[in-house]
Chain A
Amino acid sequence: MTRHHSSTSFALSRRQLLAGIGAGSFALAVGTGGRLALAQELADKAADAASLFEPNAFIRIDTDGQVTVVSSYLEMGQGTFTGLATLAADELDADPAQVRVEAAPADASRYTNPFLASIGFAVQGTGGSSAMAGAWNQMRQAAAGARAMLLSAAARDWDVDAAELSVEAGRIRHAASGREDGFGAFVATATTLTVPRQVTVKDPSEFRLIGGHFPRVDVPAKVNGSAIYTQDIKLDNMLVAVIAHPPRLWSTVRSVDAAAALEIPGVQYVVEVPAGAAYQGGVAVLARNTWVAAQGRDALDIDWDESLGLTTSTAQIFERYRALAEQPGNVSVEKGTILDKVPEGGHVIEATFEQPFLAHAAMEPMNCVVHIREDGVEVWNGEQWHTADQGAIAAAMGIEPGQVTINQLYAGGSFGRRANPFSDYVLEALAIARAAREQGHTGPVKMVWLREDDTQALQYRPATVHKVRLVLRSDGEIGSLQWRAVGQSFFPVPEGGTDALLVEGASDFAYRTGALLVDQHLANDQRLPVQWMRSVGHTHTNVVGETIIDEAARLVGRDAYEYRYDLLSDHPRQQATLKLAADKAGWGTPLAPGADGDRRARGIAVRESFGTVVAQVAELTLHADGSYTVDRVVCAVDCGYAINPDIVKAQMEGGIGFGLSFLRQEITLEDGQIQQSNFHDYPVLRMNAMPVTEVHIVPSGEAPTGVGEPGVPPIGPAVLNALAALIGSYARTLPLGDSVSLT
């Protein structure tokens, strides 16, 4: 049976079909110039294809029939490799078992992320929960083009009409003649064919794999220890570097006595590393292995010059933020007239929220392998910000980006950390490698941050103070909302400018509101580099927005779910997702009672982020001593067409766990020194605190949106709202800690 032609067809540009990577690869790919071509030929031609804003979806099929899907995105746990494989395999009608995924090199000419480019970051990078949204059309088009060419090749080889051919599980069949063969058999002929100008992708009704269960491509290697992360790289003549950062931030090295370190067998070099704009530098010890390097680092006797060191404390930062929150800021959005007076029969909520700095604490601490050679630099890294890091290295070395080769690896988590806007840890690794090279080390250098180094090396989710004033009319409608955010911007903005990410979720406040005024103060003068973390501004704005709306419902005597539903009248997707979560959670029905002295309640929250809507209902038990347990979370998600439903669920589960950690975490500074160092004082959620989770996907035929981040924002406020249902007041300051005061 031939494939139905759907109405969805796309004109393909030459670049869109451009494909192929892999030095010395015998494999063939859908290439430029209308022919399948050798990888090197493609790579050469790719160099002329100049576009920074369109990605290329890559497919390669070899004579054994193996399909290689090239991912320009990092696999850090979010399942993108599998998503790409699913799209390609379905469109090709391949057998999932014949598909493999390969990481793309860093190459801005071919792999710039279109979504990130559209919001001002023209890099090849992974972020904004954008991979599957971007790949939805491009990967399917690339695969459909490849399939069409294989069919043409089979028709030619067998001298039959292509329309009489069918494809199933990677085999092409001609029913009338009974002929059948795998993709690999047609590669040779396909190389001689012209790329079709127009390809047709499947209608969703024809999907065989998309929307079903496609086993994760990375799982087999992740259950037997064979998956390779940066931490696992060992190269010939490689040394491991462990660095001493200044205990008081931004202090510099006055002198170092390295004698004791150099006496340790296996220690080879001790190098001073000057600070960069976003990394601290210090003194690094290079040794044959990590343990010896760490021993050497600890044996250093460093005299730090603290004259430039930071003396700030978090308490001072918050004090300053609170003061700024009293002053009008730079306006992000203003519509309607703010009500100064509370209308007759109405209410007002005035509240100030404080949320701390947070460390990403990925399971794999930051690290990077750098080899400086005569002709360029080679890097081995789990790269989330590929071409930005490539460009930063090139700039630091005074070479061309093309001279910086990046070997992409799995990342042991990242949560945004490996997409540092300033390439901090990558540049520190480079600086160490340069210093070692000056001393005569010609081999690669693996910089390893131990957990303490990772926790204390800045780049935190910024701390914020939010001040809100919400005026309710007597009929329960929101008369006006004033919302002021104070904090550092996630990304540098010009003096006097505003940061859209700092107020995302506030400036687009979804609830029906008479008037809205959102302004902000940026405290970017602090020498505390910060960066995005999984779900970015929503990590803090949703705590504010979803608890004040809950409080508003309470003040006007409405049910927390029904009130939200009503005020979301302009956002039917949010309404539907909220309803699904509420229905599945049994919202409004009594909860099973807890043990003696326990009190139980539900809390609800919703948030659209990165185009995906997530609603969550948390069931909470408050124990007599003030400690609390989140027992169960029911989650509903609308992410458009769910390419891999099981991965969608996994990302919601993971987002819930990640967001629950916020209830107990904070990074604090005392006199310029970070107070936390490892998991004993920077707690993360553990098995015994993980709630039972239940994820429901809203059926949708819309184009997919991302799921890596949107599971995070609702959980914090859902828990705080459940708590408020029991104790009558809303927490405004995080972390909450292990227990709440009941007096």
Chain B
Amino acid sequence: MIDLTINGRAVQFDGDPEMPLLWFLRDEAGMTGTKFGCGIAMCGACTVQVDGEPVRSCQTPVGSVTGQDITTIEAAEQDRIGAALQAAWVENQVPQCGYCQSGQIMQAMALLAETIEPTDADIDAAMSGNICRCATYSRIRAAIHRAAETLRA
């Protein structure tokens, strides 16, 4: 039996510990906000946080994160940074198809937790692993700056 803590909630799983966290979240735990894009850590759509670090859940065996705090997009609004990012995402009207945006926000949360006033170069470095096929990148950048600004205020 695998014991997990997802968004502060205790969850148990008795399946294959090798199963990526992504598929556990989506298909077993019914939390579909975390998206599948590539399965090989090349797109970032599956990004969640484990103990505050952004991880690609498609490459994270569910058995490897027992006892750690897993945060997904569904709980982003309970986090000060996550809520600021979501508000900035709305203000800047970032999403188009929206499919990548959970991962973008989860990745940006980690960036702002580390760097209170990111430069464009910081944003490029932190966010270039997250693909957006709709190319909402300019707005993502603007929204990260905006969220950082509101968090500093």
Binding site for B on A (CB under 8 A): 76-79, 215-216, 218-229, 231-232, 234, 240, 265-266, 288-292, 361-365, 410-415, 450-451, 646-647, 650-651, 653-658, 660, 678-680, 684-688, 690, 692-693
B81 close to chain A: CB less than 8 A: no
A157 to B43, CA, bound (A): 58
B135 touches A690 (CB 8 A): yes
Residue among B43, B101, B135 making CB contact with A658, cutoff 8 Å = B135
Interface SS majority for chain B: loop
A227 touches B98 (CB 8 A): yes
Chain A residues near B80: list those with CB within 8 A: none
Chain B residues near A228: list those with CB within 8 A: 32
Chain B residues near A411: list those with CB within 8 A: 97
Chain B residues near A687: list those with CB within 8 A: 123-124, 127-128, 130, 132, 137, 140-141
By Cβ-Cβ distance, the 9 closest A-B pairs, closest first, are A225-B33, A657-B135, A412-B99, A222-B98, A77-B97, A77-B96, A289-B27, A225-B73, A291-B23
Using a CB-CB cutoff of 8 Å, which residues 1-56 of chain B contact chain A? Answer: 15-16, 19-20, 23-24, 26-28, 30-40, 42-43, 45
A679 touches B42 (CB 8 A): yes
Residue among A224, A678, A688, A692 making CB contact with B77, cutoff 8 Å = A224
With A224-B73, A654-B136 already in contact, the answer to whether A363 and B90 are too (CB < 8 A) is no
A678 touches B40 (CB 8 A): yes
Minimum C-beta distance from B53 to chain A (A): 19
A412 touches B35 (CB 8 A): yes
Residue of A nearest to B22 (CB): A291
Minimum C-beta distance from B11 to chain A (A): 15
With A224-B33, A361-B133, A653-B135 already in contact, the answer to whether A646 and B93 are too (CB < 8 A) is yes
Binding site for A on B (CB under 8 A): 15-16, 19-20, 23-24, 26-28, 30-40, 42-43, 45, 72-74, 76-77, 86, 89-90, 93-102, 105, 123-125, 127-141
A216 touches B93 (CB 8 A): yes
Residue of A nearest to B136 (CB): A654
Residue of B nearest to A452 (CB): B39
Residue of A nearest to B141 (CB): A687
A232 touches B26 (CB 8 A): yes
Subset of 30 A-B contacts with CB under 8 Å: A77-B97, A79-B96, A216-B95, A219-B93, A219-B94, A225-B34, A227-B98, A231-B26, A231-B36, A232-B32, A234-B32, A290-B23, A290-B27, A361-B133, A362-B133, A363-B45, A363-B134, A364-B37, A364-B97, A413-B99, A451-B37, A650-B93, A654-B135, A656-B135, A657-B134, A657-B137, A658-B134, A658-B135, A678-B38, A687-B124
Minimum C-beta distance from B12 to chain A (A): 16
With A78-B96, A223-B95, A231-B36 already in contact, the answer to whether A413 and B134 are too (CB < 8 A) is yes
A678 to B36, CA, bound (A): 13
Known A78-B96, A413-B97; further 18 A-B contacts with Cβ < 8 A: A79-B96, A215-B93, A218-B98, A219-B94, A224-B33, A225-B73, A225-B74, A232-B32, A288-B27, A363-B133, A412-B97, A450-B39, A650-B139, A660-B135, A678-B40, A679-B38, A680-B42, A690-B138
Chain A residues near B45: list those with CB within 8 A: 363
